[in-house]
Amino acid sequence: MVRKVNLRLNKNTAYLICYWLLCSIFLGCSSGIVDSNNEIPERKWTYRNHVVTAFEIKDNRKAYNVYFKLRHTADYKYANIFILAHFRDGKNTVTKRYQYKLAKNDGEWLGSGSGNVFNYTLPLLTSHYFPHNGKFSIEIEQNMRDNPLVEVSDVGVLVE
């Protein structure tokens, strides 16, 4: 006995499965609260050019990771970078100084990238619990001796 298969039902089922897979992929990739990226004019990061990123915490019972994002060219002349991060919650400001190693001792860049540009996602706060729900901001400024700090092309913050 030959059994007939309803192709229309199978096509609809296949479309539905594809739809749910695509939705789960896109929703799964958007776990970050904020992912900012600010271009540095003429690749010259001055002391006055602070990068500010605002975001909202809706569930302070969850732990969050906060990252400093950096992109520079191969002509960046240091193996590290110092930054100041100002964490604001509306009333209070906490400032922390960070140093990040960007290159190995032999000069090979630690960041990912292709060609002449290197990217880094560096930790500011890991498994951090914000004190309350609400609006917060992070202000990043370069804290190197050079002003401007040349060959820095982009700076940003990722909160997830």
Torsion (CA) 40, 41, 45, 47 in degrees, nearest 10 = -110
Enumerate residues 6+ apart whose C-beta is below 8 A from 126: 65, 66
Instruction: List C-alpha distances in Å: 136 to 21, 25, 34, 139.
Output: 34, 28, 11, 10
Q: Which residue has the tokens 């982009």?
A: 154
Kindly report, residue by residue over 123-152, the tens digit of the pLDDT: 999 999 999 999 999 999 999 999 999 999
Identify the three-state secondary structure at position 156: strand
- Count CB atoms within 10 A of the CB of residue 153: 20
Domain count for the chain: 1
Enumerate residues 6+ apart whose C-beta is below 8 A from 33: 55, 56, 57, 64, 159, 160
Most confident of 13-22, 29-38, 63-72: 63-72
pTM summary value = 0.79
Task: Tell whether 80 is covered by a domain.
Answer: yes
The residue segments making up the domain with residue 105 are 34-159
Q: List the beta bridge partners of residue 54.
A: 137
Task: Tell whether 14 is covered by a domain.
Answer: no
Output the 3-class SS for 46-92. Answer: CCCCCEEEEEEECCCCCCEEEEEEEEEECCCCCCEEEEEEEEECCCC
Q: Which of 17-26, 42-51, 126-135 has the least mean pLDDT? A: 17-26
CATH number at residue 97: 2.60.120
Task: Tell whether 84 is covered by a domain.
Answer: yes
Task: Tell whether 124 is covered by a domain.
Answer: yes
